[in-house]
Structure 1
Amino acid sequence: MIKPTKTRRQLHQELEEQIQEFLQQGGQVNEVPRGLSGRVDANGPLISIFDGTSQEDRTPLPEVVAAIEARKKPQLITKPKKPRPRKKVILDDFGQPLRWEWVED
């Protein structure tokens, strides 16, 4: 049996209850001035969190990539398409339309 998912209102209420419980047990929320950064050197450029250079560490596997791509888009067997019939107007001797007929090219 699938448990019913909680609504946003229920989640908000639970979070509010947890905050109030934390504050009643003596917890304290520290105020941080707006615009203050947690970075060591906030004026410098962002530092990458990844170590090493990814280009040298990679092993090329074109056949594996090709196999994965082939599974993503299975090749459909295409049948030769029959030409669709189209409507053709039949005109009288004076160029006025008389009727429509379905014709296949």
Structure 2
Amino acid sequence: MVKPKPTKKETRQEIADQIEAFLKSKGEIQQADMGESGLVDGKYNTSHIGFGEPRQERTPLNHVVAEMQKRKTGSNTQAPAIKRRKKVIVYDDFGDPIRWYWEES
């Protein structure tokens, strides 16, 4: 059986209980200025941003894009005519089917 997920009310109550237990055990809450907890030595922590490596050169693919555009527009602007085939049934004098064949149209 799957355990039901706690509701928001239950989660809030659990957090409030944990804070109350911390304060009762002589814990002290320190106030921090807005954004201060994200600073390392008074500066923003940029180690996780990913700009530490030098910029890499990219491989130019202009010729590939040009070839794709050429194929997309194509030298033949019209699509080839689709030959449709139609199934034709041959009936006898009494209206019963004898055979069938494909007719190009």
**Bucket of the pairwise TM-score, normalised by the shorter protein:** 0.3 to 0.5
Larger strand proportion, structure 1 or 2? 2
- Alignment TM-score, normalising by the size of structure 1: 0.38
Whichever of the two has the greater Rg, that structure is: 2
For normalisation by structure 2, the TM-score amounts to: 0.38
